[in-house]
Structure 1
Amino acid sequence: MIATVLRSRQRIGVLGLLAWLAAGLCLVPMVAVLLAAFSGGTDLLQHLLQTVLWGYTANTLLLVVIVAISTAAIGTGTAWLVTMTRFPGVRLLEIALVLPLAFPAYVLAYAYTHVLDHPGIVQATLRDMMGWGPRDYWFPEIRSLGGAAIMLSLVLYPYVYLLARAAFLQQSAGAFLAARSLGASGVGAFFKVSLPMARPAIAGGVLLAVMETIADFGTVAYFGVQTFATGIYSSWISFENRATAAQLAFCLLLFALFLATLERTQRGRAKFHSTGKHHAALPRKTLSGWRSFGAFVLCALPVTFGALLPIVILFEMGLRSEQNLFSPRYIDFIVNSLTLASIAALVTVMAAIVIGYYQRLMPGGASNVAGYIARLGYAVPGGVIAVGLLVPIAAFDNRLDAWMRATFDISTGLLISGSIWILVAAYVVRFMAAALNAYEGGQSTLHANMDAAARTLGETRFGTLRRVHLPILRPSLFTALLIVFVDVMKELPATLIMRPFDFDTLAVQAYRLAADERLTGAAVPSLVIVAVGLIPVILLCHRIGRHKN
């Protein structure tokens, strides 16, 4: 008996060690950025402070404010309409409103620039119809901070929509009907009762959208908007100044961690208590006439401009491009993307299983700290993670190469920082939280008695995980794999900075063609990225469609 207990503790020790190794990997970029920021020189940073740093700050904050307001309005408004009213097409729209999640914002930027820019079909048609010259009219500039904010809002509002819709569905009718009985109108009851009750969930969705906004690089870089994300890339690649890139990354890291703390606080408060024994769903109001048409239009606009129209534009662009998706070059891009996404998804989900099971076996204390550290990566932009990993690993590579040269007259080169494994490590850090949330969502349905029954029948802890947990959690694990796979396919800033020489992905190819103003060519890799991104969104839509209110 004593020997069995000792072996069990030893296995838990191994599990804890693996869990802390995974969590430590997520902590490395932040510690490295902190150390590099304070140990590097400040000459270039002072120059940036006198020239563009305040612009970085103002543009980033303004972008955050616009996206926060836009996503809150679109997500909350559409969630309320599809939850509380009935009108023709509402069942279809409550599912379709999730579709823009499949699109990276930079893909929308390429599509709408092709249509709305000066040579695009919209302005060209206006000039032909009105007989205007290039300087005879004014047209909103798509390549601007406002344009970037619109692109980001169109793809990020589903975060707010999903959380707000879930909050409205969980509300009991009691308080809402009490407000109506006291003379409040439907709109008044919404603002005074339903909206305050759903506010924590809405705030959580908005903060998620804001964190994605500060992490965005492709959209703001293509539109020429100078933010901290573009500043980090410019300092690292253009100026070749690692210390300044680390200092800018540190500033962005502080802001991201502040937002992460807010999001976690809001998520913890996203609850309310029903005053009655029985939960009664909020009553739906059937709309007719112009109200029905207005509700349909308000819900259809985000879907149209966030998903349907971009697909049509990209398809038309792709047909006119000279890019051959089946050429050896594109096959390499596809293989590289699929290889990175597959390896990163497998490694990330395996790490999430280790951390999640460690928390189940040893709740509290160290395991909770490991889980919290592992989740920090979702708040850290890809560019910050890239800088945080490259700084220490490049230093290690250089010292190892110098030692090998001095000792054995052999050059090891960039042994780690020149491989795909450091890129995989960056993806693991960035998307560990998504895998953990999916895994723990399934694990929460496993009653503790199942573990006790398995142990009574002679199973070890790892046998229980392998033979009991994993088969039951197969849907959750598949969801986690799919989410990480698609996120890696879309990821751009870390891939741009950390990819090995001559190892390009579909996202990098799309960015490169768009940067060269070859937008029709950029449509081809963009369509592939969107097609892959639609897979988990369709599964999510299917799940929403099966939900019975």
Structure 2
Amino acid sequence: MTADRLPGTAAHAAEAGAVRRPLPAAALAMAGLIAAIVFLPIGTLIGVALSGSGADWPHLVEYVLPRATVTTLALLAMVAFGSAVIGVATAWLVVAYEFPLRRTVAWALVLPLAVPPYLAAYAFAEFFHFTGPVQSALREVFGFATSRDYWFPEIRSTPGAAIVITAVAYPYVYLTARVVFLMQARNIADVARTLGAGPTRTFWRVLLPVARPAVAAGVALVLMETLNDIGAVQYLGVRTLTLSVYSTWLNRGSLEGAAQIAVVMLVLVVLLLSAEQAARRRQKVHAARGTHWRVHPPRTRLVGWRGVAATVAALLPVAAGFGIPLYVFGRYALRRLDQIADPVLLEAFVTSFATAAAAAVLAVLAALMLINAMRLSRGAGVAALVRLAASGYALPGTILGLGLLLALAWLDNTVDAAARAYLGVSTGLLLSGSAFAVVLACAIRFLALAESAVRAGLEKLPPHLDEAARCLGRSSAGSATVILLPLLAPAILTAAILVFVDTVKELSATILLRPFGFDTLATLVYENASRGAVEDGAFAALLIVATAIVPVALLSRGLTRDGST
């Protein structure tokens, strides 16, 4: 045995750390509790759907599900096609060609991520309305007097909703495709050119097939965001499964029927998750063969009208997904400057801030507990618990909100019944229909963001740092508190920001769970749009975009360096 392997040395501690250690009961219990809380809405929803009387099922099968399912699948297909085309085309353009403003365009293409789909729907409907700037300009140029004099596509339709969602969701595909093009383009393109293939043939025959798994993963994320949306489809009159869950509960008063539709949506979510996971597995194989990040692929310089055309083509998605909402809400805000001092807006801002902060704290604490459980044990059981706890992000907000509402209502009724039986008092509704329900729903849904951010920060630390600290006399808890937590502070802050921003934008679960008089910025905009007064929610909409643009700006700054994606 060499000196560096003697007991008490760091190397010996590293070898000891490689041996699987028993997981403390407290850490295992916390991981199991978090996973159980995350799975509770799903289990409750399935239980209600399967254990009901089934009285609403014939009506749903005959009148609701066929139309809603076809509409949902059509919307998903159009969004998938549009986001794939725009995302791949723009990614290839900024990676393979040099043109004016290329570096600016590369980060600007991410900006539409700061605009939630429901805000984009409100803005597009106003922008392309009969009295909006587009149709007004058409009438001015061609001398049309009424809408009967010309044809204009209807934005309040399934294709219109697909355009709106694609305009703000394509960056998911852009990001994943750009990463693969940067990693693969140098070696593969060089080999293809030596074999006589031109740039176009290299792209279609070589690079695009290599990037297909990454594109599929990006499209899967886009489709999950599409399933989550309720504000855009409701405003544009598109009756999807998500909207059917909401309307079946409120209009028909049938929680059982809403749960049954939600279970159908769960099947779609599982299929999307399976496709996304399969794409990720294939993507890892390709990524391992990529070149170094800091070696830029050669770019073809576009000059003259070609360079201008490339710049305009790359900026069009940015103008649609970010420019139109900013123009519409900015114009309305300038007309309604009196709203700055509106107490309703201030109250909604404070509510959004408090809700998002509470959800961020709760999600980060849960993520730290999960990461600590994985740190103490590398067992497959703990990894499965962590994966289950992080599965809430795949759930559309409508499904999560409805399932959590049913679970909390059952818990409230159980506590109330016990209090009546043993204490002779009624506790009423303690959790359901409360601000806590909204915070819990957001924490469950965005726990995956916090967990992945903290885990990414932990993976950047030296692998045997924890073992070295324990070798020097620190306990497991002391090592985590004194050594790891300070080093993980940037990752924890990043996780909190991600959860905070997504909670501010969240709408689907909030409108199902919020108590009376509980208005966030998102619900304030939603209510104003529902009564046809989009301009009354202009400042709230701009506050949402301003909040959401913070992490997008950080990501965009990283994208200006092609090696830091």
TM-superposed deviation, 1:120: 2.3
**1:124 lines up with 2:149 in the alignment:** no
**C-alpha distance 436-125 of structure 1, shift in aligned 2 (>3 A):** same
**C-alpha distance 39-275 of structure 1, shift in aligned 2 (>3 A):** closer
**1:51 lines up with 2:63 in the alignment:** yes
**1:221 lines up with 2:237 in the alignment:** no
State the match for 1:293 in structure 2. Answer: 308
State the match for 2:456 in structure 1. Answer: 441
What is the rounded CA distance, in whole Å, between the counterparts of 2:301 and 2:379 in structure 1? 49
**1:189 lines up with 2:189 in the alignment:** no
What is the rounded CA distance, in whole Å, between the counterparts of 2:411 and 2:305 in structure 1? 67
One of 519, 524, 544 as aligned partner of 2:559: 544
SS at match of 2:147: coil
**1:389 lines up with 2:404 in the alignment:** yes
One of 73, 93, 96 as aligned partner of 1:81: 93
What is the rounded CA distance, in whole Å, between the counterparts of 1:194 and 1:215 in structure 2? 32
Deviations 1:428-448 (A, max 9, x none): 221111111111111111222
1:170-189 → structure 2 map (5 Å cutoff) = 170-171=183-184, 173-189=186-202
TM-superposed deviation, 1:173: 2.4
What is the rounded CA distance, in whole Å, between the counterparts of 2:49 and 2:34 in structure 1? 24
Deviations 1:477-499 (A, max 9, x none): 11111111011111111000001
**1:475 lines up with 2:490 in the alignment:** yes
**1:461 lines up with 2:461 in the alignment:** no
**1:351 lines up with 2:363 in the alignment:** no
TM-superposed deviation, 1:276: 8.8
SS at match of 1:344: helix
TM-superposed deviation, 1:258: 1.6
1:302-451 → structure 2 map (5 Å cutoff) = 302-321=317-336, 324-451=339-466
| Letter of the structure 2 residue corresponding to residue 512 of structure 1 | E
State the match for 1:503 in structure 2. Answer: 518
**C-alpha distance 121-81 of structure 1, shift in aligned 2 (>3 A):** closer
SS at match of 1:270: helix
* Contact 1:232–1:245 (8 Å) recurs in 2: yes
What is the rounded CA distance, in whole Å, between the counterparts of 1:261 and 1:280 in structure 2? 33
* Contact 1:260–1:376 (8 Å) recurs in 2: no
Structure 1 runs, 4 residues or longer, greater than 4 Å off: 8-11, 275-281, 546-549
TM-superposed deviation, 1:55: 1.0
One of 282, 292, 297 as aligned partner of 1:282: 297
What is the rounded CA distance, in whole Å, between the counterparts of 1:230 and 1:277 in structure 2? 46
* Contact 1:317–1:520 (8 Å) recurs in 2: yes
Q: Which moved more, 1:165-174 or 1:212-221?
A: 165-174
Alignment root-mean-square deviation, CA: 2.2
Deviations 1:445-479 (A, max 9, x none): 12222112111121111222222222222221111
Identity %: 39
Note the residue ranges of structure 2 that are not aligned, 5 or more in a row: 1-15
One of 240, 246, 255 as aligned partner of 1:233: 246
TM-superposed deviation, 1:290: 2.8
State the match for 1:249 in structure 2. Answer: 262
* Contact 2:185–2:207 (8 Å) recurs in 1: no
* Contact 2:31–2:373 (8 Å) recurs in 1: yes
TM-superposed deviation, 1:398: 2.2
**C-alpha distance 294-276 of structure 1, shift in aligned 2 (>3 A):** closer
Deviations 1:66-100 (A, max 9, x none): 11111111111111111111111001111111111
Deviations 1:336-369 (A, max 9, x none): 1111100001110111111122112211311110
SS at match of 1:135: helix
State the match for 1:66 in structure 2. Answer: 78
* Contact 2:183–2:291 (8 Å) recurs in 1: no
**1:106 lines up with 2:118 in the alignment:** yes
TM-superposed deviation, 1:110: 1.0
**1:97 lines up with 2:137 in the alignment:** no
**C-alpha distance 428-438 of structure 1, shift in aligned 2 (>3 A):** same
| Letter of the structure 2 residue corresponding to residue 471 of structure 1 | P
TM-superposed deviation, 1:134: 3.1
Deviations 1:38-67 (A, max 9, x none): 011322232122223211101110111111
Scaled by the length of structure 2, what TM-score is found?
Answer: 0.92
State the match for 2:156 in structure 1. Answer: 143
| Letter of the structure 2 residue corresponding to residue 535 of structure 1 | V
* Contact 1:41–1:244 (8 Å) recurs in 2: no
| Letter of the structure 1 residue corresponding to residue 171 of structure 2 | P
State the match for 1:21 in structure 2. Answer: 33
**C-alpha distance 275-102 of structure 1, shift in aligned 2 (>3 A):** closer
**C-alpha distance 199-405 of structure 1, shift in aligned 2 (>3 A):** same
What is the rounded CA distance, in whole Å, between the counterparts of 2:161 and 2:197 in structure 1? 39
What is the rounded CA distance, in whole Å, between the counterparts of 2:292 and 2:358 in structure 1? 49
SS at match of 2:193: helix
What is the rounded CA distance, in whole Å, between the counterparts of 2:23 and 2:380 in structure 1? 18
* Contact 1:322–1:521 (8 Å) recurs in 2: no
TM-superposed deviation, 1:153: 0.6
Deviations 1:369-394 (A, max 9, x none): 01110121111101101111111221
SS at match of 1:399: helix
What is the rounded CA distance, in whole Å, between the counterparts of 1:277 and 1:124 in structure 2? 52
TM-superposed deviation, 1:128: 4.7
State the match for 1:41 in structure 2. Answer: 53
What is the rounded CA distance, in whole Å, between the counterparts of 1:246 and 1:378 in structure 2? 19
* Contact 1:510–1:525 (8 Å) recurs in 2: yes
SS at match of 1:171: helix
**C-alpha distance 401-323 of structure 1, shift in aligned 2 (>3 A):** farther
Deviations 1:394-435 (A, max 9, x none): 122123324434544422111111322222221122111111
Q: Which moved more, 1:9-18 or 1:163-172?
A: 9-18
| Letter of the structure 1 residue corresponding to residue 35 of structure 2 | A
- How many residues are aligned here? 544
SS at match of 2:74: helix
TM-superposed deviation, 1:328: 2.1
TM-superposed deviation, 1:227: 0.5
TM-superposed deviation, 1:204: 0.6
Note the residue ranges of structure 1 that are not aligned, 5 or more in a row: none
**C-alpha distance 62-275 of structure 1, shift in aligned 2 (>3 A):** closer
* Contact 1:337–1:489 (8 Å) recurs in 2: yes
TM-superposed deviation, 1:25: 1.2
State the match for 2:9 in structure 1. Answer: none
One of 172, 180, 197 as aligned partner of 1:167: 180
Q: Which moved more, 1:538-547 or 1:436-445?
A: 538-547
What is the rounded CA distance, in whole Å, between the counterparts of 1:201 and 1:452 in structure 2? 36
Q: Which moved more, 1:473-482 or 1:170-179?
A: 170-179
Q: Which moved more, 1:256-265 or 1:322-331?
A: 322-331
